[in-house]
């Protein structure tokens, strides 16, 4: 199957050359042994129009048999016409055409405006579906999409005046194409998929800008004003519940994230691209996706606040903490985090203890306001008995031991973060706690605990 302009391989029909994007040519379909010609409701409606129109049922039976045996060649679809060469049992080939009235510009305007008003119709078409309410809404707008009795007009080189086996075979084969893609029907009615979607996009953009497209020759200015009304009527939204199919069941959580693809190939990478770093990012992305899915499937997830996004610097620390990168990648992450290589381990440890909140406490020194400072001092005073309280020197949000080796940091979240000095640097010593005594215990515990 090919989209867009295809050369007219039939010739001699006196028709104008097709506009690019306004003709599609489908390769001959294989025989249809043991199956019906239409599975979708709109495909069956197409065949009903054929069967209600044809006067000779025997001709239809022969045509159905020709189609079932795969005697219909490539099918060309263009506005108002479908064409194919059909071979009979003597292997004679006959050019066969079936004509269908195109919609007028005014009818297309009404159809497009209806589709823009109901976004679900556009989504259905993009999913290669034509729900009944789309056709019903189009009919309510005065646009008949599906053919009715007498709408399928045959022309065949065998010179039959009614539907012959050749045109019938073509219609049965086209029903199979319609099953796969309802845009085939819309092309027959005058608009190809690309043109149709472009025109929908223009209307959507105009609607978003707060004005409708100008009125056409087929519609007064009042209709253009009506089309500018936004929103969905309440009655339509309410009744849609009985039309839309039920949601699919919740997917099962995989046992674990998928394996990252190997980029170790014979092809050299582009300059500046590190395959090892890309593999690490792919592995990390899979792990995050699995974790996010697990959270989404957990009870009460919908009531949880949406987490704030990470800055590039925070995400660089997260990668260093969770992906355990090679040393040369860690150097790049340290630069991305805005830190020196020597400062990255403390940031990684802070992340492991408390994520973004702990990372902020590592980086930020701030002065609590009077209320926050009073709460902090009250908690410190109540954490120990008078003779057990450590001697602490207060400076802004930090309380440091007299010997300068242990520190409690008071976070903006009202929690206490333990720190100890290692190799001349203040380093996170444990998770935060509401009790300063518990945080102090972590800070003063042996480093290997």
* Residues 201, 195 contacting (CB under 8 angstroms): no
CA dist 299 and 290 (Å) reads: 16
* 354 contacts: CB under 8 Å, gap ≥ 6: 361, 417, 431, 432
Q: Provide the pairing of β-strand 392-395 with 153-156.
A: unpaired
Q: What is the pLDDT of residue 153?
A: 92
Q: What is the pLDDT of residue 228?
A: 44
CA dist 407 and 428 (Å) reads: 9
Q: What is the pLDDT of residue 420?
A: 94
Structure tokens at 277: 């770093």
Q: What is the pLDDT of residue 3?
A: 40
Look at the alpha carbons of 441, 445, 447, 449 in this order and tell me if their dihedral is positive or negative. negative
pTM of this prediction exceeds 0.95: no
Q: What is the pLDDT of residue 130?
A: 82
Partnered with residue 94 across adjacent β-strands are 86
CA dist 155 and 161 (Å) reads: 8
Q: What is the pLDDT of residue 193?
A: 86
Q: What is the pLDDT of residue 232?
A: 60
Q: What is the dihedral of CA 246, 247, 249, 253, to 10 degrees?
A: 180
Partnered with residue 162 across adjacent β-strands are none
Over its length of 449 residues, how does the chain's per-residue pLDDT go in tens digits? 334 333 333 343 444 445 555 889 999 988 877 667 888 888 888 998 898 888 888 999 999 999 989 999 999 999 999 999 999 888 889 999 999 999 999 999 998 888 888 767 777 777 788 878 888 888 888 899 999 888 999 999 998 888 999 999 999 999 999 988 888 999 999 988 888 888 888 887 777 666 544 444 444 444 444 444 455 667 656 655 655 667 778 778 888 888 777 777 777 788 888 888 888 888 888 888 888 888 888 888 778 887 788 899 999 999 988 888 888 888 888 888 888 888 899 999 999 999 999 999 999 999 999 988 888 888 888 888 877 888 899 999 999 999 999 999 999 999 999 999 998 899 999 999 999 989 999 998 886 54
CA dist 335 and 313 (Å) reads: 9
CA dist 406 and 412 (Å) reads: 20
Half-sphere exposure of 76 (CA within 13 A, CB side): 22
> Cα separations (Å) of 447 from 420, 425, 428?
9, 14, 11
CA dist 156 and 160 (Å) reads: 7
Q: What is the pLDDT of residue 34?
A: 63
Runs of H (alpha helix) within 38-143: 41-53, 57-68, 105-117, 119-126, 132-140
């Amino acid at each position: 199957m090919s989209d867009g302009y295809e050369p007219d391989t039939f010739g001699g029909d006196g028709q104008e050359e097709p506009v690019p994007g306004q003709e599609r040519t489908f390769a001959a379909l294989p025989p249809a042994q043991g199956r019906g010609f239409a599975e979708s409701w709109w495909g069956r409606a197409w065949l009903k129009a054929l069967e209600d129109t044809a006067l000779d049922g025997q001709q239809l039976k022969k045509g159905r048999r020709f189609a079932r045996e795969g005697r219909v060649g490539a099918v060309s679809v263009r506005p108002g016409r479908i064409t194919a060469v059909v071979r009979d049992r003597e292997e004679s080939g006959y050019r066969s055409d079936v004509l269908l009235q195109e919609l007028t510009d005014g009818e297309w305007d009404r159809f497009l405006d209806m589709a823009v008003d109901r976004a679900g119709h556009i989504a259905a078409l993009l999913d290669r579906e034509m729900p009944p309410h789309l056709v019903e809404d189009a009919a309510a707008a005065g646009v008949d999409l599906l053919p009715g009795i007498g709408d399928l007009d045959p022309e065949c080189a065998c010179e039959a005046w009614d539907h012959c086996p050749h045109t019938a075979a073509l219609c049965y084969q086209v029903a199979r194409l319609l099953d796969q893609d309802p845009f085939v029907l819309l092309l027959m009615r005058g608009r190809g998929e690309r043109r149709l979607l472009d025109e929908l996009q223009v209307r959507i953009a105009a609607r978003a800008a707060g004005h409708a497209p100008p009125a056409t020759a087929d519609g007064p200015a009042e209709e253009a004003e009506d089309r500018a009304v936004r929103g969905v009527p309440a009655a339509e939204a309410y009744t849609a519940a009985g039309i839309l199919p039920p949601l699919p069941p919740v997917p099962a959580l995989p046992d674990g994230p998928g394996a990252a693809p190997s980029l170790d190939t014979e092809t050299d990478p582009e300059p500046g691209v590190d395959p090892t770093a890309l593999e690490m990012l792919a592995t990390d992305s899979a792990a995050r996706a699995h974790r996010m899915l697990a959270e989404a499937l957990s009870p009460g997830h919908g009531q949880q606040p949406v987490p704030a996004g990470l800055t590039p610097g925070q995400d660089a620390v997260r990668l260093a903490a969770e992906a355990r990168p090679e040393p040369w990648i860690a150097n790049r992450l340290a630069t991305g985090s805005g830190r020196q290589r020597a400062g990255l381990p403390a940031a990684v440890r802070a992340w492991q203890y408390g994520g973004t909140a702990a990372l902020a406490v590592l980086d930020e020194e701030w002065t609590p306001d009077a209320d926050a400072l009073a709460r902090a001092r009250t908690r410190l005073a109540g954490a120990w008995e008078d003779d057990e309280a450590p001697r602490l020197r207060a400076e802004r949000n930090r309380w440091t031991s007299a010997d300068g080796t242990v520190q409690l940091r008071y976070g903006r979240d009202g929690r206490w973060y333990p720190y100890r000095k290692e190799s001349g640097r203040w380093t996170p010593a444990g998770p935060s706690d509401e009790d300063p005594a518990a945080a102090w215990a972590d800070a003063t515990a042996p480093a290997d605990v």
